[in-house]
Structure 1
Amino acid sequence: MPKRHMEQQPISEWPEPVVAVQLIAESGISSIPERYVKPLEDRPALVYATCREPTVPVVDLGKLSVGSLDYSSELRSIADACAEWGIFHVANHGVDAELARAAMATWREFFHLPADEKQKLANSPATYEGYGSRLGVEEGAALDWGDYFFLHLLPCELKNLEKWPMQPSNCREVTEEYGRQMLKLCGALMKVLSMSLGLDVGFLQEKFGGEDNIGACIRVSFYPKCPQPELTLGLSAHSDPGGLTVLLPDDRVPGLQVRKGDTWVPVQPLPGAFLVFIGDQIQVLTNSAYRSVDHRVVVNEAAERISIAFFYNPRSDLPLGPARELVTPERPPLYPAMTFNEYRLYMRKKGPRGKSQVESLQAV
């Protein structure tokens, strides 16, 4: 394995037995175990039916074609979305709609396979590849009401096909093609974001180490029905530690909330669109001109929920700090340079903790 892609300080085992949340949910319990109950200040307000909060911006990639009359205004819209929200819907993205539906269907089917079949693919914190139910490896850590499947796509030496499901029969084929189309979309988004910063079209991609050196992975999240959704979260508040996240949400069951100021704003899925999240690495690179978004997932008493997140990350051993093009005497560098390998160890040890990592690094 090339040294530049090796993980630092790998942790090979979970500190305590991992119990699939789906098994707990399907056991017929009427109250959730104490380990899943959140502190009072972190519990969700389940307000989807009456929400009147601001709407997450929508970016139309079709308006960025050569010669489009909307080109300049759409670039400004992207810049505003990245600076003010850290998240936006992306429409006319070029990803095959039937492929997206097939990806959701095959992974929903996977999570309804017998428990012993899924357990054969159980993961460890060394690479996270496979079927799991927790993120942080600290003993006694609070747990979230959700299971997941994590897969590496790039770099190739991290991809472990032994952890890729053989069932459903089309799962590998669909996931591979979905990954290829997501890579193409993220490459286009990196160019658009670079231009929206007023910089060269290849600026962000170059800072990530070039197109041939990026990291890419997929996390499929499954949130079972929960008898007490007001007490827990499917995924605790966090910002994504990487570069970009492109989410295919469950358009049947909402659950995502993003922090806007002091308010948690429910995000309603937009049919046919993906959600794009700015990650911590772009916040660091842009010297906080573009900001990662703090987000969380609520769960539902009546319905399960599934989502597919595609993560697009910089070369893992490349020191990354604020780009000199975005540093001025009035706005000096806000963050120290750090490799992505070093940076993501924080979440892998502690689990999701809001934006505490990126904020703790910021120079006073």
Structure 2
Amino acid sequence: MKLEQKSSNDKTADIKMAEIPTIDFTNFPSDEPKLRQACENLGCFRVIGHGIPASLRDDMKSAVRSLFHLPDHIKRLNTDVIHGSGYVAPSPVNPLYEAFGLYDASSSLDILSFCSNLQASPFQQHTIATYSSKLHALVVDIANKIATSIGVPHYSFEHWPCQFRLNKYSFTEGTIGSSGVQIHTDTSFLTVLQEDDSVGGLEIMDQIGTFVPVHPVPDSFLVNIGDMAKLWSNGRLHNLMHRVQCKETAERISIALFLLGPKDAPVEPPPELVDSEHPRLYKSITVENYRRLWFPSSRAGESLSHLLL
């Protein structure tokens, strides 16, 4: 990762800008080595040539924004399916953050339940269902390409649950410099993020331990590697440490899709990634049990250390 840097002793990133590798899915498999390097070293990349129309992305953002205007008692009908998968109200830990959750974007029943509970209009429900279908196909394609790039072709991610997280950050003049979301890695295998095109705030940790800001890039999705991918890959893929900081007075909306892991089986590395030179690093664990392990601390990758063999 290249950085634009001025002189400073601060380990935060006001003076730097992250340059994140861009992977063009219309230029595959030529971009496969670039994808592998991004996943192993930085744990983050952008996808272009993804085939998701701008009109659908705009409609989805409008639908999400309208959900946050619902009365509080209706918002709270978006309940957990698994721990941490439903509505998240602002809290003392993350007072600027609010979110809705949809457990499995590949499930038409989950989408119907989500929309019904939140009294979504027919147009909103159609938008959410269409976006969910296309994003699920994209996230599975991304996971397949990552697996193939490290020597595990034909691995199936098709039936892994894909959790939606619809995020709002309420930044005000008095909160500039505050944390929107604390430092963490994602519990998921990977995360596909539709950023707010006009409001930044996301920061990622580079390879020397400095947080650098990520500037939104229109027509792209940001992808980052999570804890389950590090476990599944036997340590080969890098789980990205990141946070959200308030940098301006604005409302920030983002839409994230998390490829979680097998629904009813533990995550463990495939045989291709374990041998005498690369012994197994982690114990097997289900996604739900890992989330229970992770949520009390919600810190960056710390829960994985409890699974070391």
**Which TM class, normalised by the smaller chain length?**
0.7 to 0.9
Q: CA deviation at 1:300?
A: 3.9
Q: CA deviation at 1:232?
A: 3.0
Q: Percent identity?
A: 28
Corresponding position of 1:356: 302
Paired positions, count: 297
Alignment of 1:94-243 (within 5 A): 94-113=51-70, 115-116=71-72, 118-119=74-75, 121=77, 123=79, 127-128=83-84, 130-133=86-89, 142-153=93-104, 156=107, 159=110, 161-164=112-115, 165-167=118-120, 170-200=123-153, 202-203=154-155, 205=156, 208=157, 211=158, 213-230=159-176, 232-243=178-189
Structure 2 residue ranges without an equivalent (≥5): 1-9
Deviations 1:112-162 (A, max 9, x none): 34x346445353586545432269xxxxx7334200011123574982744
Deviations 1:41-84 (A, max 9, x none): xx99472xx43x441111110101xxxxxx34x11100100011
Q: Is the 8 A contact 1:45 1:230 kept in 2?
A: no
What is the distance in 1 between the residues matched to 2:293 and 2:173? 31
SS of residue matched to 1:180 = helix
TM-score for both structures, normalised by structure 1: 0.74
Structure 1 residue 59 corresponds to structure 2 residue 23: yes
Structure 1 residue ranges without an equivalent (≥5): 1-42, 65-70, 136-140
Alignment of 1:259-298 (within 5 A): 259-260=205-206, 261-298=208-245
Q: Which amino acid aligns with 2:301?
A: K
Q: Is the 8 A contact 2:185 2:239 kept in 1?
A: yes
Q: CA deviation at 1:320?
A: 1.9
Larger radius of gyration: 1
Q: Is the 8 A contact 2:83 2:292 kept in 1?
A: no
Q: Which amino acid aligns with 1:79?
A: R
What is the distance in 2 between the residues matched to 1:126 and 1:285? 21
What is the distance in 2 between the residues matched to 1:122 and 1:156? 16
Structure 1 residue 80 corresponds to structure 2 residue 37: yes
Distance 1:158 1:347, change over 3 A: farther
Q: Is the 8 A contact 2:60 2:131 kept in 1?
A: yes
SS of residue matched to 1:108 = helix
Q: CA deviation at 1:231?
A: 5.3
Q: CA deviation at 1:196?
A: 0.9
SS of residue matched to 2:87 = strand
Q: CA deviation at 1:250?
A: 0.1
Q: Which amino acid aligns with 1:147?
A: E
Structure 1 residue 309 corresponds to structure 2 residue 256: yes
What is the distance in 1 between the residues matched to 2:169 and 2:11? 15
Corresponding position of 1:91: 48
Corresponding position of 1:252: 198
SS of residue matched to 1:159 = helix
TM-score for both structures, normalised by structure 2: 0.86
